[in-house]
Structure 1
């Protein structure tokens, strides 16, 4: 809550919170947004980190079945055990910590680009953040499936986990 209040204060004091009308579509706007991110380390670093976290942390739905089969020689039951905690209190504690860290990461990752971008390109920067956060996950989902099939063509993400655990 305090971080949100600080962010709002920064927006008010710097004039960054001033409403800017919708941008008129024009050629080169995506390049302009990318150039702004490249010139601004306060934007480039968080966007890069968001893409890395999106690739490495949010592909567990696909990686766990591969680990269950390839590492432990198991199937769906082993995969289920990998996602389960030995007791309810431990599961609740793990979920609480995981949820808190996830919310902190997402809110900080969302706020930082907004505060550090120019109002004229803020929408484009936030679109890049969305691609970095959400758009990196489907690509990362394919890598465990690709490695599990020995480098064969990757199947769609929704089927990779099922194919790995049932074969």
Structure 2
């Protein structure tokens, strides 16, 4: 079988199960195995864009992932990320854990946001006190493709839906 895969020019790694990792979305956060022996299953019911935004909620789970119990207790929903605007932090197809209630806001952290006319997206949110604006930023360094967006805080006070507390990704 390996000989056929080689002759066809395929990569065997594309056909093997890939382990998953989980970490907090902060600099220098440790990367852990997501599917350790004591991991628990959680369902993912919605998509969020990392690029174009989505606003989709399903009755049936889009996916089921396994994560350590302490990560499961930190969030109240999980969103599958589509797009590459958060590349470097969250890959296309990754899942983020979001806490939607009783979270502290910290400028420069990653949040689930509802962008006007677009829907739910995962972005870094920075407060510009001088102008009274949110700066909605992608982690992808391609600023031509993903420029910063500025939204007046007074008009969009309810834009932030929740704080991203962990990132799950297949490696």
Q: Which category of TM-score, normalised to the shorter sequence, fits these structures? A: under 0.3
Quick check: which one's helix share is greater? Answer: 1
Quick check: which one's strand share is greater? Answer: 2
Where relative contact order (Cα < 8 A, 6+ residues apart) is larger, the structure is 1
Larger radius of gyration: 1
